A and B are shown apart, each in its own frame.
Chain A
């Protein structure tokens, strides 16, 4: 049973436009969410996080939105750059789960020049 889902395996966006990556979760105990970017043969790099007490968090070109009632979060990248081409993972955790982060399967983003 997948607790964290990223239903789009891949996404292509034109350079300069907005990239929107989506993530859905099923476990209502999750209270902290993170996005990671991963290039081939490298470890995931932390991008941005959001706590369940917020509905939006911004960091430069990256914004994460959380809709708790829909158990849905999204990552917006504006403007998209070719260097953003990577696999993006959504991860979720619950305070009483320790460091047991549950990861989604990832979405491969391709930003076309």
Chain B
């Protein structure tokens, strides 16, 4: 059974540009959440999508957005990139949402470097 797949794995962007990252969840999983990992802030929750609807959002500016498609695949977009957006962006999927005992499984992540 394939795991969570994220593309691209590595990318370099220039300040002011925008970037789109893609995530394919584990087959059958309907919830996709996104996390940002930086050395200083650790793993921080960005947002979660379930059935094409955003269910939860973390404390990130509006430049960070996402969406989910009918096949549960998800994309996240960061506009007007800043140097501080350089991070590992992790996608995680789970079967359901909003229930106790719901484990999330991570992909390998997309390394974004903003120069």
**A-side interface residues toward B, CB under 8 Å?**
31-32, 34, 36, 41-46, 49, 51-52, 89, 91, 93, 95-106
Contacts and interface: CB of A to CB of B under 8 A. Distances in A.
A66 to B, nearest CB: 13
B42 A99 contact: no
Q: Find the residue from A41, A96, A101, A105 having the highest chain B CB count within 10 A.
A: A101
B31 A99 contact: yes
Contact of B101 (A49, A89, A98, A103): A49
B79 to A, nearest CB: 23
Contact of A100 (B6, B48, B103, B109): B48
B31 A103 contact: no
B16 interface: no
21 contacts: A34-B103, A36-B106, A41-B111, A42-B109, A43-B90, A43-B109, A45-B106, A49-B101, A95-B99, A96-B98, A97-B56, A98-B50, A98-B98, A99-B31, A99-B55, A99-B56, A99-B92, A99-B94, A100-B33, A100-B56, A103-B35
Interface residues of B, number: 31
A95 B100 contact: yes
Interface in B42-91: 42-45, 48, 50, 55-56, 58, 90
B102 interface: yes
Interface in B8-44: 31, 33, 35, 42-44
